[in-house]
Structure 1
């Protein structure tokens, strides 16, 4: 079960700030301010602009951490506080950390490589040995909070945010009382931006209101962002014994698949992931009350997802939403943020809107929630995620029984 949530997002730092902004339809997407994007084909991103690491973290951590890791440390602090849990007071090995990443600490790495090329090896920080690395968020969180139980990191781009939570669920089922999991990511620096723009999936539009339009006739690609969410997963009995202040819901089902080789003629793996996740949860399509879509914003990939949803749920058979239109796609942090939004939807019995989209390219096929939040009776939510290169993940979250 999920007993704590920590969020760092472009439209809100902290879970409740993010959720209130999402229900209002407030977007955090705008022109990049961290560097001059004028020389690049794409210039929009979901930046977290109200974050002061010197105010949020001990000074000793600042020289050894990338911006991504600083965000992750803040999200971890909030999630554990929200759960009312202090791993340092728990028995050894009773708490662990599994996170997702896509590129590691690119901003830190760029600075140190620039120092190497311009000044020489003596000017490269010793912290470069780990600050760029994919598992660095798991490592720094576990050190700061004394979490000596199972640890790890998964790399599957957007899908990784669900994969990490699934791995943490396995550790809880195997006997670890508490796991901190999810993804916080970001590579908004010139080096990272060049890599993302080379993928060919980013929109080149400059109007934030018309840039990221999944399932829309005007879809032209997606907008990247930074941030994500971390969750506290606990064994139900252990959570009850220590008096956890709340339960948001439970991770009821999960599956992951990989797309076949391009040109093979075989269908993508998203539909199979969806079906397997429902099977794992012990529910059928009629039991799903809302879908948090992957919503790539690339017309061909949106068409694949639309076809899958229509085939499984029927035309307009289930409300579909993509609140990531307010944050951008947050790499490995995006799916875990959708997961947090799904849990908050179950808590408040409301579906957040997809902004800037007027109903979609296929209004007769998708019941896309647009314009305003939609009150609803919600028991089970399905979260879908696809990662660059063919990764597919699906996760079912259920409200408190």
Structure 2
């Protein structure tokens, strides 16, 4: 008989060792942070479709993103924009952390992402084909590209992340909830988790859904359209993109000499009040 391998005892600390960003304001952490320091306003008129007939005409778009520069050609037909943005951020975060998933134990690194809408643009395109031409014109990739779990799945396949993984669907609180879930996996003995949140619904179907919810700002001036925590707030503005972090067990990160950008000692998240609460 072979004795079972000892269970590694993890610390309570999650060390953040890598960051990847694809968001309004910039693709790549340095570009995005430079825009923040400049006070760059990332909200502007919608350019991804003609929104002139919609009550809301502004969005936070990720500009300057070349799909083919970040995503292998074979993945382009089977991914929505949100997954392509997430793949770009995942690659940056892993490179920034200077971590090689293949050098870890087979199930040592997982991925937990937050996503509230799935591949809306992809789904809209395929539904248009269904209703205008018929079912024969709906591609096979519709079976998974629209799904909110597509980001975690494609990132896992691309980087060989076979550890405990999952998806969190909790809208505005999603990114924090994903980090909390990643920390739980580390406390159970995981070595590393790629975690964060991404969404991309700047398309007619996405705008229709946001408008139906009743919370979308219809102001035309980018400077006053989105004013969180202000008495003059008029709702939210649709944005796309997000960020991913590499979170490692603190002891494991220090043992490999990783650059630790910060630590997560605990997590908490809140959500919007119920409608009508002000």
Whether TM exceeds 0.5 here: the answer is: yes
Q: Normalized against structure 2, the TM-score is what?
A: 0.91
Cα deviation code 1:280-309 (max 9, x no counterpart): xxxxxxxxxxxxxxxxxxxx3xxxxxxxxx
- 1:88 Cα deviation from its structure 2 partner: 2.2
- 1:49 Cα deviation from its structure 2 partner: 1.4
Say which is worse superposed, 143-152 or 214-223, in terms of deviation: 214-223
Pairing 1:23–2:32 present: no
Which among 218, 222, 244 is matched to residue 204 of structure 1? 218
Q: Normalized against structure 1, the TM-score is what?
A: 0.64
Pairing 1:7–2:21 present: yes
d(CA) in 2 for partners of 1:44, 1:262: 23
Q: Which structure would you say has the larger RCO, counting Cα contacts within 8 Å and 6 or more residues apart?
A: 2
- 1:161 Cα deviation from its structure 2 partner: 0.8
d(CA) in 1 for partners of 2:270, 2:90: 28
Detail structure 1 runs of 4+ shifted over 4 Å in the superposition.
256-263
2:50 maps to 36
- Matched length: 264
- 1:212 Cα deviation from its structure 2 partner: 1.2
The verdict on how the C-alpha distance between 1:39 and 1:258 changes in structure 2, with shifts beyond 3 A counting, is closer
2:8 maps to none
d(CA) in 2 for partners of 1:32, 1:187: 12
- 1:169 Cα deviation from its structure 2 partner: 0.3
2:267 maps to 254
d(CA) in 1 for partners of 2:49, 2:122: 14
d(CA) in 1 for partners of 2:238, 2:17: 29
1:158 maps to 172
**In the TM superposition, what are the counterparts of 1:206-355 in structure 2 within 5 Å?**
206-244=220-258, 246-256=259-269, 300=278
1:52 maps to 66
For structure 1, list consecutive stretches of 5 or more residues without a partner in the other structure.
269-299, 301-401
d(CA) in 2 for partners of 1:52, 1:139: 22
2:125 maps to 111
d(CA) in 2 for partners of 1:11, 1:256: 25
Do 1:180 and 1:231's aligned partners in 2 also have CA atoms closer than 8 Å? yes
Do 1:86 and 1:145's aligned partners in 2 also have CA atoms closer than 8 Å? no
1:149 maps to 163
Do 2:201 and 2:238's aligned partners in 1 also have CA atoms closer than 8 Å? no
For structure 2, list consecutive stretches of 5 or more residues without a partner in the other structure.
1-14
- 1:153 Cα deviation from its structure 2 partner: 0.2
- CA-atom RMSD in angstroms: 1.7
Determine helix, strand or coil for the equivalent of 1:209.
Answer: helix
d(CA) in 1 for partners of 2:16, 2:220: 38
Pairing 1:77–2:91 present: yes
Do 1:97 and 1:179's aligned partners in 2 also have CA atoms closer than 8 Å? yes
Determine helix, strand or coil for the equivalent of 1:126.
Answer: coil
1:170 maps to 184
